[in-house]
Amino acid sequence: MFFKFVIRRVLFSIPTIVGIVTLAFLLGKLIPGDPAVAALGLDLDGASTVSQEELERVRTELGLDRPVIVQYMSWFGDALQGDLGRSSVNRESVTALILRAFPNTMFLLLTTISTAALIGISLGVFSALHRGKSADLVARLVTIVGVSTPPFWLALVLILVFAFNLNLFPMNGSVAEHGWTALVLPTASIALQPAALIARMSRSSMLEVLSQDMIRTAAAKGLGRWTIILRHGLPNALSPVITVIGFQFANLMGGAVAIEVLFGMPGLGSLLINAIFENDLKVIQGVVVIVGITFALTNLAVDLLYSVIDPRIKL
């Protein structure tokens, strides 16, 4: 039954993915400038330096002389087969470039969101259990500070203190170069805001659940405090928290771009920024596709999680 549900949800995400691929195509059509010029690795000023014949040759090669609908079908068909074209800078396959960058970004994002979820949920539950006491006030103050600290600014401060002054972590570089220490500062910079938001939602959701009748029933059975909180309270409080986590995960993709560039980590962010500087249209389109698909899969994962937790969610 669960398997059927998964299949159905995967089918449901197909239109989204078609939309994303289409959007990436339109992006290529809407960007100002001649794609043929761009494909030659030249910027707009450089256009006059190539001969008309050369441009025509590239146009034909790229299929730009064909009707738009044919171009679209061909883009779509290629995309379905995992062919997103070639980089105009170094002629490398876009798919290969993305496959190299994607795991790095995913690793950073998953580390960040797990850290944020763990800290956020713990802090929220702690806060709820001490509602109104000074521990709660302190915890809430921390979340307010967390929500309102800009990640980029935080990253700079962390670099200054922990990399530059204390020399505890590398100032920049990839996990391949430095091992897990390379992840600490980037993760900390972008995890704080989601952690604070997750903590807020965990607190309010937990408070709401703790006041429900079923908690009193659990207590009336003679169960211990932590059994009540962890077995009866927390699972019931989790649904809205998962919504926030999913949303924050999607949000983090944006944050990761800047952080990857700042810390010089290889990933989709660095790839995208370079492609923008180099006017490398195919790579930009490829990143749009992969980010869009990741969004769609995140939604899918959130929905599946709901149904794993809550038997009332109809399969």
Query: Cβ distance 83 to 93 under 8 Å?
Result: yes
- If you write DSSP's letter for every residue of 247-279 in order, what string do you get? HHHHHHHHHHHHHHHHHT--SHHHHHHHHHHHT
Q: Of 61 and 310, which has the nearer Cβ to another protein? A: 310
With contacts defined by CB under 8 A, how many residues of the chain interact with another protein? 22
Stretch that binds another protein, among 6-14, 112-120, 272-280, 306-314 (CB under 8 A): 306-314
- Binding track, positions 209-228, relative to another protein; x by CB under 8 A: --xxxx-xxxxxxxxx----
Within 120-159, which residues bind another protein (CB under 8 A)? 132
- Binding track, positions 93-122, relative to another protein; x by CB under 8 A: ------------------------------
Task: Report which of 87, 74, 35 is spatially closest to residue 58, judged by C-alpha positions.
Answer: 35
Contacts of 223 (CB under 8 A, 6+ apart): 231, 232
Q: Of 47 and 223, which has the nearer Cβ to another protein? A: 223
311 in contact with another protein (CB under 8 A): yes
Q: Of 78 and 310, which has the nearer Cβ to another protein? A: 310
- Cα 302 to chain centroid, rounded: 13
DSSP single-letter state for residue 224: -
232 in contact with another protein (CB under 8 A): yes
Within 268-297, which residues bind another protein (CB under 8 A)? none
309 in contact with another protein (CB under 8 A): yes
203 in contact with another protein (CB under 8 A): no
Using CB under 8 A, pick the residue from 235, 240, 254, 315 that binds another protein. 235
Round to whole Å and give the CA distance between 277 and 8.
41
Q: Three-state SS string across 141-167, please?
A: HHHHHHHCCCHHHHHHHHHHHHHHHCC
Task: Report which of 188, 195, 194, 202 is spatially closest to residue 126, judged by C-alpha positions.
Answer: 202
19 in contact with another protein (CB under 8 A): no
Whole-number minimum distance, CB 123 to another protein, in Å? Answer: 22
Q: How many CB atoms lie within 10 A of CB 285?
A: 24
Round to whole Å and give the CA distance between 278 and 288.
16
Contacts 24+ apart (CB under 8 A), 25-31: 25/71, 25/72, 25/75, 25/76, 25/285, 27/284, 27/285, 27/288, 28/75, 28/281, 28/285, 29/68, 31/281
Q: Of 29 and 216, which has the nearer Cβ to another protein? A: 216
Whole-number minimum distance, CB 198 to another protein, in Å? Answer: 20
Q: Of 93 and 212, which has the nearer Cβ to another protein? A: 212
53 in contact with another protein (CB under 8 A): no
Q: Of 119 and 128, which has the nearer Cβ to another protein? A: 128
4 in contact with another protein (CB under 8 A): no
Could you tell me which residues are beta bridge partners of residue 93? 86
Query: Cβ distance 188 to 180 under 8 Å?
Result: no
Q: Of 121 and 155, which has the nearer Cβ to another protein? A: 121
Please report, as ranges, the residues that interact with another protein according to CB under 8 A: 132, 211-214, 216-224, 231-232, 235-236, 309-312
